Structure 1
Amino acid sequence: MENFNDFLITMFLTFKVALITTFVLLLIAIPLGYFLAFTRSRATPILEAIVSMPLVLPPSVLGFYLLITFSPQSPLGKFLLETFNLKLVFSFEGLIVGSVIFSLPFMVNPIQAGFAALPKSLFEAALTLGKSRIRILYSVLLPNISRSVLVGIVVTFAHTIGEFGVVMMIGGNIQGQTRLASIAIYDEVESLNYALAHQYALTLFVITFSVLLITFYLNKRKAK
């Protein structure tokens, strides 16, 4: 019974982190993807490289530097703690920050690609009608990249629920607070408790596969 309660709490935290991370990244990725797709400057490649870093950087490396950056002993960590009473190391809030940074390219890249694939005439036609850039973004461009947005949401969600290195480094392994499913699987395997590890792993597998299957099905229907 105790194992079942721990299982429910861990899965709840895992999906809570994934949902909040996906929502926050959607708010960030739409304007950022728009900027990267339509802005031509020397700074754009630098920003694109920064956004894409989590794709190639080992999670443990990113997690280590996040741990150092937000540690209460660091200038930024000390400022956040003393000014806002916000502790990002070994806390739920830290999991969200780490997940947002680590999953950033999985949301930004599809949305940026969607914007970049739109014909320039669409944007220019909207400008001639006297619409503001903000209104063009939300009423003209976004509806035309709905598939890209959907892909970004699904991939980000699926990627977030399977995170290990970053969340382990910045969140630790505190039961009921920062212990996520990926960490629980590692713990149970280390304890030779393969039955419980299988429960966590199978749950993640089934949910991830189901989400992807539904997404591909919806994309097929939209393409018809």
Structure 2
Amino acid sequence: MDLVIRTTAELAAVTTILLLILATPLAWWLARARHWSKEVVGALVSLPLILPPTVIGFYVLVALGPESPLMAPLHPFGIRTLAFTFEGLVIGSLFYSLPFAVQPLRTAFELIGDRPLEVAATMGAGPLDRFVTVAMPLARRGFLSAAILVFAHTVGEFGVVLMIGGAIPGETEVLSTRIYQLVESLDFAAAHRIAGGLVVFAFVTLLLLLLVERRWSVIER
């Protein structure tokens, strides 16, 4: 059980860190761009919110399979597939949790407005300097919300991780798939313990988000 918890926590932590890095420039572009294509990109980013997790898991599984052209460059290094590996779980989680990182960051960047950036520009700050020293600190609430949401959402994943990882004990088995296996084996008592723990985790996560929002609202006043 400890190994399952560790795998779940590692998956959530790695996914959160990578998504904060990858989603930040994307969210900034979506918040600041004036081109019509940003709505198309925004819709693509939001697709995981309405697509069944098994659909995402299936296509990621195919993309990471040995016959996929995406895997061909790795064949000379002895890597034929990333399916049913921890690395594959991370890739699938990045796609599935992407909107939970991009949306809070995009909203936070949009709320900054143009004025602080224009003031920084008049003081000689370049685009990168304005982003790092002005935009990111002002959007810190968005970063915190994104981190909490992505971590919690990744912990609760089921369809994607089952499709890509196969719930291999000691390698790709996480808490959500362990519950499924316990129910299949009719061990409802053990399933209740894990499910109850995840209910508590979800409640604490939502409460933390509400407290963060309330705290920043008071500070901004």
* Same fold at TM > 0.5: yes
1:14 maps to which of 8, 27, 31: 8
Deviation sequence 1:59-82 (CA, Å, 0-9, x none): 111111111111011111233343
1:75 aligns to what SS in structure 2? coil
What runs of 5+ residues in structure 2 fail to find an aligned partner?
none
1:86 Cα deviation (Å)? 6.5
- Structure 2 partner of 1:210: 204
- 1-side partners of 2:111 and 2:186: how far apart? 50
1:138 maps to which of 123, 132, 150: 132
Residue 189 of structure 2 is aligned to residue 195 of structure 1: yes
Residue 104 of structure 2 is aligned to residue 110 of structure 1: yes
1:95 maps to which of 74, 89, 98: 89
1:83 Cα deviation (Å)? 4.0
- 1-side partners of 2:80 and 2:118: how far apart? 45
- Residues 81/197 of structure 1: CA separation in 2 closer, same or farther (3 Å cut): farther
Q: Percent identity?
A: 40
What amino acid maps onto 1:28 in structure 2?
L
Residue 220 of structure 2 is aligned to residue 223 of structure 1: no
**Contact 2:65–2:80 (CA<8 Å) still a contact in 1?**
no
**Contact 2:66–2:80 (CA<8 Å) still a contact in 1?**
no
What amino acid maps onto 1:153 in structure 2?
A
Question: Which structure 2 residues correspond to residues 1-224 of structure 1 after superposition, within 5 A?
Answer: 7-83=1-77, 85=79, 87-224=81-218
1:143 Cα deviation (Å)? 1.3
- 2-side partners of 1:68 and 1:218: how far apart? 39
What amino acid maps onto 2:84 in structure 1?
F
| TM-score for both structures, normalised by structure 1 | 0.92
Could you say what the CA RMSD is over the residues aligned between the two structures, in angstroms? 1.5
Pick which of 206-215 and 140-149 moved more: 206-215
Pick which of 84-93 and 98-107 moved more: 84-93
What amino acid maps onto 1:172 in structure 2?
G
| TM-score for both structures, normalised by structure 2 | 0.93
**Contact 1:89–1:170 (CA<8 Å) still a contact in 2?**
yes
What amino acid maps onto 1:149 in structure 2?
F
